[in-house]
Amino acid sequence: MSSLIARSLSIYQNQGAKTLLKRAFKKARRDAYYRTMSIRGECSLTLEGWTVRFSAPSVAMVERNHERFNSEKEELADFLDEIRADDVVYDIGANTGLYSLFAANECPDGNVIAFEPYPPNLDLLKQDISRNGFEHIEVIEMALSNSVGTIGFSQPKESDIGYGSSAIGPGDNKDTIEVPTTTGDQLIDDGEIPPPNVVKIDVEGAEPLVIDGLERALSAPSCRVVYCEVHLPGNERRPSVEDFDSSATDIRNRFEEFGFTAEKLPRGDRAELFYKFSK
């Protein structure tokens, strides 16, 4: 409350009462919308001509869906533009399905494979696959890594579900659970899933593990585009690539070895880089 008062006072002093009132009115309208959607239990987001319906179990969930959508809208639109009708799309670190659900509209003759190990996120993901009537999204309830087995996975506070703070976490953590792991190449070799054409990786610092376990698929000519969010040090809520003995330069070099060309997409968060790797 004190920080809100301080911000309001700063706006009043620097920009005047009119600006303060306009911002207050805008916030009140936004908050009222979030409350209404949470009462209905559903909200919708629209991009590239597609409208996707999402569960709205709480005001916080509605707010965070909109915040993430608005902050990643350009990257998501670029991702959707690369998907062909018969593509196989991997959403690695699917969370509650923002990328998976929009991608499914773009590949009606293909498949979306959504990888997500955290049970609360899985519940919402599955609900919204059904809510939108998609039958070509397959959910893999495991963490993609560089080995088959289990690994510690840090749990966020309940209010953080769907926000991306759940992560594979090195070291001891009293809030850590064990989740199953496998490699992408192993799943493909076993015939469990088809190889990908388009990939999105967002795994809160564990990108090196995913890449190690998927290198054969990433090296294949049929894998055309990879979007990879690289998490850097500076955010206490989750690990970074350095916790896994890697760096943004290492990640970029690996993809160049696989035959990709790197493009850095704009991202406001200084603790994250968002790469588009293309062949």
pLDDT band at 120 (very low <50, low <70, confident <90, very high): confident
Examine the pLDDT at 162 and tell me if it is beyond 90.
no
Structure tokens at 232: 């850097």
Does the structural domain 70-278 have CATH classification 3.30.465.10? no
Domain residue limits, the chain: 70-278
pLDDT band at 227 (very low <50, low <70, confident <90, very high): very high
User: How many other C-beta atoms lie within 10 A of the C-beta of residue 75?
Assistant: 19
- What is the rounded average pLDDT for all residues in the chain? 87
Average pLDDT over residues 18-35: 71
More confident residue, 241 or 160: 241
Examine the pLDDT at 163 and tell me if it is beyond 60.
no
Examine the pLDDT at 18 and tell me if it is beyond 80.
no
User: How many other C-beta atoms lie within 10 A of the C-beta of residue 165?
Assistant: 16
Ranges of H-type helices in 41-118: 59-71, 73-81, 98-106
